[in-house]
């Protein structure tokens, strides 16, 4: 959620948006239409572009808490409009924002949380020297994709710069070797992956 506008009106705009979220009005037909679209999107996940599936797989495997699309799909049929209506106030009651605010703002615009109220998403630490393989099947494409994920270290200013420099040096040679010389795939890239305060180096190859 990103807000733009005159400083003295930003809070009023935010209040209006939050009010609409809290007091949302639902009808049965709209709920069923949205539910069907979400269900179809979950069902079509295994028809996505292969390298995007590979990226999701890495994110899912390294997250401390995350549900995959098959798990979400197994629950959606039993969800009713009443379930959603009762869930919204419970969700918003525990809702907080991790925000960067700048401009002509006063302290009464926000209320910092106590550290005990924070909920931090965490990344799993892979054992040193480990070697894991995870496979997902794609129902629509004959293409194949692979992502090699090398977990590095936590994000700091120095670590971020060092990893960016490393990627800058290896990106072009990696592309030339894997795509031009060996012709392993049409999509080849070597870059950083940052998630939940942890960063890694990855190589992605998708066949032509």
CATH code of 7-206, in short, is 3.30.830
- pLDDT, one tens digit per residue, over 95-106 is 766 677 777 767
Helix H or strand E encompassing 166: helix 157-175
- pLDDT, one tens digit per residue, over 104-137 is 767 666 666 666 666 667 788 888 888 988 888 8
Distances (CA, A) of 90 to 86, 100, 167, 193: 7, 25, 43, 33
Query: Average pLDDT in the 37-66 region?
Result: 87
Comparison of pLDDT for 54 and 9, the residue scoring more:
54
User: Sign of the C-alpha dihedral, residues 76, 78, 83, 85?
Assistant: positive
Mean pLDDT over each residue of the chain, to the nearest integer? 85
The domain limits of the chain are 7-206
- pLDDT, one tens digit per residue, over 131-175 is 988 888 888 888 889 999 999 888 888 998 999 999 999 999 999
pTM of the model: 0.65
User: 24 pLDDT exceeds 90?
Assistant: no
User: 80 pLDDT exceeds 80?
Assistant: yes
């Amino acid at each position: 959620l990103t807000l733009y506008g005159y400083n003295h009106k930003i809070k009023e705009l935010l209040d209006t948006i939050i009010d609409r979220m809290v007091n949302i009005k639902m009808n049965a037909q709209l709920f069923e239409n949205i539910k069907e679209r979400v269900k179809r999107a979950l069902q079509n996940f295994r028809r996505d572009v292969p390298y995007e599936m590979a990226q999701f797989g890495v994110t899912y495997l390294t997250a401390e808490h995350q549900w995959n699309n098959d798990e979400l799909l197994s629950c959606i049929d039993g969800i009713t409009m009443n379930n959603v209506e009762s869930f919204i106030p419970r969700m918003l009651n525990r809702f907080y924002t991790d925000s960067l605010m700048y401009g002509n703002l006063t302290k009464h615009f926000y209320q910092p949380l106590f550290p005990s109220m924070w909920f931090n998403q965490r990344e799993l630490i892979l054992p040193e020297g480990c070697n894991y393989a995870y496979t997902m099947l794609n129902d629509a494409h004959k293409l194949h994709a692979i992502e090699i994920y090398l977990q590095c270290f936590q994000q700091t200013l120095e670590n971020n710069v060092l990893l960016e420099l490393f990627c800058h040096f290896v990106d072009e040679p990696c592309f030339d070797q894997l795509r031009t010389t060996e012709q392993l795939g049409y999509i080849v890239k070597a870059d950083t992956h940052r998630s939940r305060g942890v960063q890694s180096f990855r190589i992605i190859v998708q066949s032509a």
